[in-house]
Amino acid sequence: MAFSMFLRTPACTSRLLSQHMMRLGTQPALKPIETHRTIATINSLKNTLLKTETTPILNSVRSFRTSAVRLASEKGSDHSKLWVVERVTSALLIPLIPLALLSPNKVLDSLLAITITAHSFWGLEAIAVDYVRASIFGPVIPKIAIGLVYLISIATLGGLFYVITHDIGIANSIKQFWAIKAGQKE
């Protein structure tokens, strides 16, 4: 989509660019003398295309980041470490869910609540960052989307901890839901 928008910019639809492209495309083979002229043509074309007033789309493409602004602004951050932590959290859920269901207690319920919330937070954050971009929605909507992700994650973790401390816990709640389903079959 960005490339098609780039091709619609005035710099790409100009007659000068069309003439340069036609001349470059119809040349048979480059002779050594014409190579310098072609390089000069390409450099002038590049200077024309990279002007900020003619191609604002290029500036937005250059500033595009695939991570949260908070992480991108840090100079010494290593995104591969966060990726490893996300994968370890996902892998930790595989034994943790059956273990918490087999022996329900507050410690395992708390670990389950934290890992489920972290796992869902990173998934929702990735969706918000990838699909609610400032180039499409403007500068305000992406910030609202990230704020909603934080709000949903905080409310989820708070609700799960409330169930753990003031009610029967996560694992026992799941067991009760299963008992209701089994009781309906009889």
Query: Which segments are annotated as binding site for heme b?
Result: 119
Residues in binding site for a ubiquinone: 131
Q: Closest Cα partner for 175 from 90, 109, 80, 77?
A: 109
Question: Which are the contacts of 135, defined by CB distance < 8 A and separation ≥ 6?
Answer: 2, 60, 64
Is 135 within 8 Å of 60 (Cβ atoms)? yes
Do residues 150 and 87 lie in contact, with contact meaning Cβ atoms separated by under 8 Å? no
Alpha-carbon gap, residue 124 to 118, rounded angstroms: 10
Residue ranges at the known binding site? 119, 131
CA–CA dist 163, 169 (Å, integer): 5
